[in-house]
Structure formats: C-alpha cells, structure tokens
Structure 1
Amino acid sequence: MPYRTNIDLPPAVRAHLPSHAQDIYREAFNHAFAAHAEDERQEEIAHRTAWAAVKRSYAKVGDRWEPLPHDH
C-alpha cells in the first residue's frame, strides 16, 4: 500500500533513515507501487526500488545512514 506520510512508513525504515532519506524512500516506493499494479510481487518490487533510491543518495556508515557527497 502507498504511504501518505513518513509516519506511515514501516518502523524499520523510520527508525534507521534520516528524514530526507525517508522522503526518498516513500516517493520511490509509491511510484514503483503504482507502476507495478498488475504484478503479484508489487509490494516487494516497490520496497526494493525504494531502498535502491535511498542508496543513490545515502550510505550506511556503521549503524547510521549518511548522505553521500555530491559532485558539483
């Protein structure tokens, strides 16, 4: 099911990701969930897509997710 706000995200996501990373996760999940409406693995695909989106901007350092440096 799509997530309206970050508060609706799974507890593991909320507990570990910074607020901005939660935004990325939620938006990617919702987009992928809608795009795969006919797939029986819709929710699994959406979660995998959301994590992939987060990992483009954040990296896990120890037990924390830190923003990746961006080239300017």
Structure 2
Amino acid sequence: MAYETVEQIPNDVREKLPEGAQNIFRAAFNSASEDGLNEQEATQVAWNSIRVSYVQGEDGKWQPRPEEKTDHKPIGNMGAA
C-alpha cells in the first residue's frame, strides 16, 4: 500500500513528524513497499530513514538532528612540490 500524499500516512506518525520528515517517511515507505517489503518492514525502513536526519525530543516530536561541528585542520603541506 503506497502513500500518494503525506495526508495518507498514519495520524500518529504525522502528528509526531515535521513536514520534511513526513515526506521522507512517505518516500522511504513507498520505496520499501515497491521493493517487496510488507507493511511492517516498510514502516521500519521509513523510521530508520527518519532517524538519519531527525532526533526525537522529550515531547515525543521529532526535530532536525543538530549538525555536528567538525574542527578540520589542514595536515602538513599537501600538494607542495
């Protein structure tokens, strides 16, 4: 069962996820379904896709995962002849 719009995903999912995450959920679910996974497996794939970019807050709602700051410094004198 593919979701043609985000309005078709389950209410409990829609209530917890911001719009961008709802789109990710729908796309991941549909892709997994097209690959032959059953509804439960496709739902698990969709939630795993959400966890890549979103984190669940204490209120149960999901928000974008904070970007990790890196402190990259150049190593040596790369490219010098």
Q: TM-score range by the shorter chain?
A: 0.7 to 0.9
Identity over aligned pairs, percent: 38
Higher helix fraction (1 or 2)? 1
Alignment coverage as a number of residue pairs: 68
Cα-Cα RMSD: 1.4
| TM-score where L is the length of structure 2 | 0.77
Give distance in 2, aligned partners of 1:70 and 1:46: 27
When structure 1 is superposed on structure 2, of 18-27 and 61-70 the one drifting more is 61-70
Q: Which runs of 5+ in 1 are unaligned?
A: none
2:19 aligned residue: 19
What's the CA shift string for 1:15-69, capped at 9, x where partnerless?
A: 1100000000000000000101xx5xx1111000000000101000112211012
Specify the structure having the higher radius of gyration (Cα): 2
Query: Secondary structure at 1:52's aligned position in 2?
Result: helix
1:5 aligned residue: 5
